[in-house]
Amino acid sequence: MADTKPKPAPTMAEFLKTPSMAKRFRGFLPVVVDVETGGFDAEKNALLEIAAVILDMNAHGELIVKQSLHKHVQPFAGAKLDPEALAFNKIDPYHPFRIAVTELVALEAIFAAIRSEVKRHECKRAILVGHNAIFDLGFVKAAAARTGIKRNPFHLFSTFDTAALSGVALGQTVLAHAAREAGLNWNNDDAHSALYDAERTAELFCHIVNTWHRLWGGNL
Protein backbone atom coordinates (compact mmCIF):
# COMPACT_ATOMS: atom_id res chain seq x y z
CA MET A 1 0.00 0.00 0.00
CA ALA A 2 1.38 3.40 -1.00
CA ASP A 3 2.48 5.75 1.76
CA THR A 4 -0.09 8.55 1.88
CA LYS A 5 1.47 10.49 4.75
CA PRO A 6 2.14 14.14 3.87
CA LYS A 7 5.79 14.98 3.29
CA PRO A 8 7.30 17.12 6.06
CA ALA A 9 8.27 20.69 5.22
CA PRO A 10 11.97 21.04 4.43
CA THR A 11 14.25 22.19 7.24
CA MET A 12 16.26 25.38 6.73
CA ALA A 13 19.39 23.28 6.33
CA GLU A 14 17.74 21.34 3.50
CA PHE A 15 16.50 24.55 1.91
CA LEU A 16 19.97 26.10 1.91
CA LYS A 17 21.28 23.27 -0.26
CA THR A 18 18.81 24.06 -3.05
CA PRO A 19 17.27 27.55 -2.68
CA SER A 20 13.67 27.59 -3.86
CA MET A 21 10.85 30.06 -3.35
CA ALA A 22 8.33 27.24 -3.06
CA LYS A 23 10.39 25.46 -0.40
CA ARG A 24 11.18 28.65 1.50
CA PHE A 25 7.55 29.66 2.06
CA ARG A 26 5.81 26.28 2.20
CA GLY A 27 4.54 26.45 -1.36
CA PHE A 28 3.49 30.10 -1.30
CA LEU A 29 4.83 32.95 -3.43
CA PRO A 30 5.03 36.20 -1.44
CA VAL A 31 3.71 39.20 -3.39
CA VAL A 32 3.80 42.65 -1.83
CA VAL A 33 0.59 44.69 -2.24
CA ASP A 34 -0.44 48.19 -1.27
CA VAL A 35 -3.76 49.87 -1.96
CA GLU A 36 -4.99 53.44 -1.70
CA THR A 37 -8.69 53.78 -1.02
CA GLY A 38 -11.58 56.13 -0.45
CA GLY A 39 -12.05 54.99 3.15
CA PHE A 40 -11.67 52.04 5.49
CA ASP A 41 -14.66 49.89 4.46
CA ALA A 42 -13.70 47.47 1.69
CA GLU A 43 -17.35 46.81 0.83
CA LYS A 44 -18.45 50.45 0.58
CA ASN A 45 -15.38 52.59 -0.09
CA ALA A 46 -13.62 52.78 -3.44
CA LEU A 47 -10.38 51.06 -4.34
CA LEU A 48 -8.44 53.91 -6.01
CA GLU A 49 -4.94 52.53 -6.54
CA ILE A 50 -3.34 49.13 -6.35
CA ALA A 51 0.32 48.18 -6.66
CA ALA A 52 1.91 44.75 -6.51
CA VAL A 53 5.61 43.95 -6.27
CA ILE A 54 6.66 40.48 -7.39
CA LEU A 55 9.70 39.01 -5.65
CA ASP A 56 12.29 36.53 -6.82
CA MET A 57 15.11 34.56 -5.23
CA ASN A 58 18.76 34.65 -6.21
CA ALA A 59 21.20 31.75 -6.22
CA HIS A 60 22.10 32.42 -2.57
CA GLY A 61 18.50 32.07 -1.40
CA GLU A 62 18.06 35.83 -0.88
CA LEU A 63 14.87 37.63 -1.82
CA ILE A 64 15.10 40.34 -4.47
CA VAL A 65 12.57 42.62 -6.15
CA LYS A 66 11.72 41.47 -9.65
CA GLN A 67 8.79 43.51 -10.98
CA SER A 68 6.39 46.26 -9.94
CA LEU A 69 2.82 46.53 -11.21
CA HIS A 70 0.57 49.54 -10.68
CA LYS A 71 -2.93 50.63 -11.66
CA HIS A 72 -5.05 53.71 -10.96
CA VAL A 73 -8.60 52.47 -10.42
CA GLN A 74 -11.97 54.07 -11.17
CA PRO A 75 -14.41 54.12 -8.22
CA PHE A 76 -16.99 51.39 -8.65
CA ALA A 77 -20.63 52.42 -9.16
CA GLY A 78 -22.10 53.59 -5.86
CA ALA A 79 -18.73 53.71 -4.08
CA LYS A 80 -18.46 56.03 -1.10
CA LEU A 81 -15.54 58.46 -0.95
CA ASP A 82 -14.49 59.70 2.46
CA PRO A 83 -13.16 63.30 2.20
CA GLU A 84 -10.68 62.63 5.02
CA ALA A 85 -9.26 59.62 3.18
CA LEU A 86 -8.85 61.63 -0.02
CA ALA A 87 -7.17 64.47 1.87
CA PHE A 88 -4.75 61.95 3.36
CA ASN A 89 -3.76 60.18 0.11
CA LYS A 90 -4.19 63.34 -2.04
CA ILE A 91 -6.09 61.45 -4.76
CA ASP A 92 -8.63 63.16 -7.00
CA PRO A 93 -10.59 60.09 -8.16
CA TYR A 94 -11.99 61.85 -11.24
CA HIS A 95 -8.89 63.71 -12.39
CA PRO A 96 -8.57 63.14 -16.17
CA PHE A 97 -4.81 62.58 -16.02
CA ARG A 98 -5.12 59.60 -13.66
CA ILE A 99 -5.75 57.32 -16.66
CA ALA A 100 -7.70 55.04 -14.34
CA VAL A 101 -9.14 51.68 -15.33
CA THR A 102 -11.99 49.64 -13.91
CA GLU A 103 -11.47 47.26 -11.02
CA LEU A 104 -11.91 44.36 -13.42
CA VAL A 105 -9.17 45.55 -15.80
CA ALA A 106 -6.79 46.37 -12.94
CA LEU A 107 -7.21 43.08 -11.12
CA GLU A 108 -7.14 40.92 -14.26
CA ALA A 109 -3.80 42.43 -15.31
CA ILE A 110 -2.20 42.10 -11.89
CA PHE A 111 -3.63 38.66 -11.16
CA ALA A 112 -2.43 37.32 -14.53
CA ALA A 113 1.15 38.41 -13.81
CA ILE A 114 1.01 36.89 -10.33
CA ARG A 115 -0.42 33.58 -11.57
CA SER A 116 2.40 33.38 -14.12
CA GLU A 117 4.99 33.77 -11.36
CA VAL A 118 3.22 31.26 -9.11
CA LYS A 119 3.46 28.73 -11.94
CA ARG A 120 7.10 29.58 -12.72
CA HIS A 121 8.16 29.03 -9.11
CA GLU A 122 6.03 25.85 -8.85
CA CYS A 123 4.13 27.37 -5.92
CA LYS A 124 0.53 26.49 -5.09
CA ARG A 125 -0.64 30.10 -4.76
CA ALA A 126 0.45 33.60 -3.77
CA ILE A 127 0.40 35.03 -0.27
CA LEU A 128 -0.10 38.76 0.25
CA VAL A 129 2.66 40.71 1.96
CA GLY A 130 1.61 44.10 3.25
CA HIS A 131 2.05 46.66 6.00
CA ASN A 132 -1.08 45.97 8.05
CA ALA A 133 -1.77 43.38 5.38
CA ILE A 134 -5.33 42.47 6.34
CA PHE A 135 -6.45 45.91 5.16
CA ASP A 136 -4.98 45.42 1.69
CA LEU A 137 -6.22 41.84 1.43
CA GLY A 138 -9.74 42.97 2.37
CA PHE A 139 -9.89 45.47 -0.48
CA VAL A 140 -8.42 42.99 -2.98
CA LYS A 141 -10.98 40.35 -1.99
CA ALA A 142 -13.89 42.82 -2.08
CA ALA A 143 -12.92 44.10 -5.54
CA ALA A 144 -12.50 40.54 -6.84
CA ALA A 145 -15.97 39.67 -5.54
CA ARG A 146 -17.55 42.77 -7.11
CA THR A 147 -16.02 42.02 -10.50
CA GLY A 148 -16.84 38.31 -10.46
CA ILE A 149 -13.22 37.23 -10.74
CA LYS A 150 -13.03 33.57 -9.78
CA ARG A 151 -9.28 32.97 -9.90
CA ASN A 152 -7.93 35.12 -7.10
CA PRO A 153 -4.30 33.95 -6.79
CA PHE A 154 -3.93 35.03 -3.15
CA HIS A 155 -4.49 32.91 -0.07
CA LEU A 156 -7.84 34.11 1.21
CA PHE A 157 -6.89 34.70 4.84
CA SER A 158 -3.17 34.16 5.47
CA THR A 159 -0.73 37.05 5.02
CA PHE A 160 2.79 38.18 5.86
CA ASP A 161 2.41 41.44 7.78
CA THR A 162 5.50 43.65 7.75
CA ALA A 163 4.11 45.75 10.60
CA ALA A 164 4.40 42.69 12.85
CA LEU A 165 7.65 41.47 11.31
CA SER A 166 9.36 44.85 11.60
CA GLY A 167 8.08 45.24 15.15
CA VAL A 168 9.91 42.04 16.09
CA ALA A 169 13.01 42.53 13.92
CA LEU A 170 13.47 46.30 14.13
CA GLY A 171 11.42 47.55 17.07
CA GLN A 172 9.30 49.70 14.75
CA THR A 173 5.76 49.19 13.43
CA VAL A 174 5.23 52.38 11.36
CA LEU A 175 6.39 51.79 7.78
CA ALA A 176 8.46 54.98 7.52
CA HIS A 177 10.21 54.35 10.84
CA ALA A 178 10.83 50.69 10.06
CA ALA A 179 12.28 51.53 6.65
CA ARG A 180 14.67 54.07 8.14
CA GLU A 181 15.65 51.67 10.93
CA ALA A 182 16.50 49.11 8.24
CA GLY A 183 18.70 51.66 6.46
CA LEU A 184 16.33 52.05 3.52
CA ASN A 185 15.55 55.30 1.73
CA TRP A 186 12.28 56.99 2.67
CA ASN A 187 10.77 60.17 1.22
CA ASN A 188 7.70 61.52 2.99
CA ASP A 189 6.70 63.50 -0.12
CA ASP A 190 6.33 60.29 -2.12
CA ALA A 191 4.60 58.27 0.59
CA HIS A 192 0.93 57.23 0.41
CA SER A 193 1.22 56.38 -3.26
CA ALA A 194 0.39 52.70 -3.70
CA LEU A 195 3.45 52.10 -5.88
CA TYR A 196 5.90 53.90 -3.58
CA ASP A 197 4.58 52.25 -0.43
CA ALA A 198 4.51 48.80 -2.05
CA GLU A 199 8.11 49.10 -3.24
CA ARG A 200 9.34 50.29 0.16
CA THR A 201 7.37 47.49 1.86
CA ALA A 202 8.95 44.99 -0.54
CA GLU A 203 12.43 46.27 0.31
CA LEU A 204 11.60 46.03 4.02
CA PHE A 205 10.29 42.46 3.71
CA CYS A 206 13.37 41.41 1.72
CA HIS A 207 15.63 43.04 4.32
CA ILE A 208 14.00 41.19 7.21
CA VAL A 209 13.92 37.81 5.46
CA ASN A 210 17.47 38.14 4.13
CA THR A 211 18.85 39.28 7.49
CA TRP A 212 17.26 36.25 9.16
CA HIS A 213 18.76 34.06 6.41
CA ARG A 214 22.26 35.46 6.92
CA LEU A 215 22.18 35.39 10.72
CA TRP A 216 20.43 32.11 11.39
CA GLY A 217 19.95 30.10 8.20
CA GLY A 218 23.28 28.32 8.30
CA ASN A 219 22.94 27.45 11.99
CA LEU A 220 19.58 25.66 11.89
DSSP 3-state of 59: coil
Residues forming beta bridges with residue 53, ordered by sequence position: 32, 68
The DSSP 8-state label assigned to residue 219 in this structure reads: G
Strands 63-72 and 47-57: antiparallel
Residue 216 contacts by C-beta under 8 Å, 6 or more apart in sequence?
12
**60 is annotated as an active-site residue:** no
The answer to whether 53 and 68 have CB atoms below 8 angstroms apart is yes
- Full strand arrangement of the beta sheet holding 63-72: 63-72, 47-57, 28-37, 125-130, 154-161
The answer to whether 141 and 173 have CB atoms below 8 angstroms apart is no
Residue of 70, 95, 131, 192 marked catalytic:
192
Q: Backbone dihedral region of 207: left (phi > 0), alpha (psi from -120 to 50 degrees) or beta?
A: alpha
Catalytically annotated residues: 192
